[in-house]
Amino acid sequence: MTSSEYINNTNNDQCPAQSLLKLLSGKWKPEVFRLAMNGPLRFSQLLQQLKGSNKQSLSVVLKELEEQGILRKEILQKKPLHIAYHLTEKGQTFIPVFKQLEELQAGINEIS
Amino acid sequence: MTSSEYINNTNNDQCPAQSLLKLLSGKWKPEVFRLAMNGPLRFSQLLQQLKGSNKQSLSVVLKELEEQGILRKEILQKKPLHIAYHLTEKGQTFIPVFKQLEELQAGINEIS
DNA sequence: AGAGGATGTCATCTTTTTCTGACCTATTGC
DNA sequence: GCAATAGGTCAGAAAAAGATGACATCCTCT
């Protein structure tokens, strides 16, 4: 699947939830989303917080999240170059459902 | 990761939402969940509705969803053998967040 | 001039996920 | 007896996702 197909959900989904689940699934995406939810972050800051990750993987994830319209790059400073990633409007629409997932997990942890 | 680790979320998640996202991500899981949400279904019924899938993939998905405690098998009839898959209690706790994902996707479709 | 941080890319390798064809058991209908 | 339906399993191939080492660019600090 090309990235444009990915963005436009042109795969014949019967299931509406699937395309959204796909946007946030993967090894690092949920964590990056959670961090971005609490404010814009720079590449190196993200990298520090993603224990076990590395810049190459982070690079891929950020690019995908950008292509999906969830994150946007912002140049904080030209010299020296500082860039921040922050949630787009579309990205922000995911916040409630993401928080609900967190609460649900908390509930599951209590029981088991 | 072994299946028991998978179930018990023993991977050192920083992100609570991630383990739940993982439970429903994959090519066929969201669709199977959606179908199961609307009532118990038999293997062959599921197979008919999953356009583009096949029994081997369905078999894998059903087994994983069972291991994750989301689905449970039920023998409807011994002779001839009829089996149904239905959501467990744990599986049912996912319904609200799944529906929210569906609504969110509907909203996104309206705009774009 | 040289070291080091910030922000990446590229090519390659490995691991995980998904797909495919073949095979299996049991039962029913003709 | 033979085909069809129901519910799968197994082994191997292909595709997708993730990890890794090397490299590149621009800037600052000493």
Q: What is the pLDDT of residues B32-74, one digit of tens each?
A: 999 999 999 999 999 999 999 999 999 999 999 999 999 999 9
Q: What is the CATH number of the domain that holds B107?
A: 1.10.10.10
Domain encompassing residue B88:
3-111
Is a pLDDT exceeding 60 seen at residue B2?
no
Strand D contact with B73 (CB < 7 A):
yes
> What is the number of helices (H) and of strands (E) in chain A?
7, 3
Instruction: Look up residue B94 and give its amino acid.
Output: F
Give me the pLDDT at residue B96, please. 97
- Asked if A77 CB < 7 A from strand C, the reply is no
B30 cis-preceded (ω within 30 degrees of 0): no
Give the residue-averaged pLDDT of B22-41: 96
How many independent structural domains does chain B possess?
Answer: 1
Percentage of residues in chain B having pLDDT higher than 90: 80
Chain D positions with an atom below 7 A of a protein C-beta are: 5-11, 16-22, 26-28
Decide if B60 contacts B30 (C-beta within 8 A): no
Strand C and chain A: which residues 28-57 have CB closer than 7 Å?
42-45, 55-56
Number of Cβ within 10 Å of residue A39's Cβ equals 9
DSSP A14-54: S-HHHHHHHHH-SSSHHHHHHHHHTS-EEHHHHHHHSTT--
pTM of the model: 0.89
Q: What three-state secondary structure class fits A77?
A: strand
Strand partners, A38: none
Q: Which residue has the tokens 């989904």?
A: A13
Number of C-beta neighbours around residue B1 at 10 A: 7
Interface test with A, best of B94, B97, B102 (most A CBs within 10 A): B97
B100/A102 touch (CB, cutoff 8 Å), yes or no = no
Q: Which residues in chain A show pLDDT less than 50?
A: 1-12
Lowest mean pLDDT of A64-68, B6-10, B28-32, B72-76, name the range. B6-10
Tell me if A105 and B19 make a contact (CB, 8 A cut-off). Answer: yes
Asked whether strand D has any atom less than 7 Å from the CB of A19, the reply is no
CA distances from B45 to A50, A61, B50, B56 (A): 42, 37, 9, 14
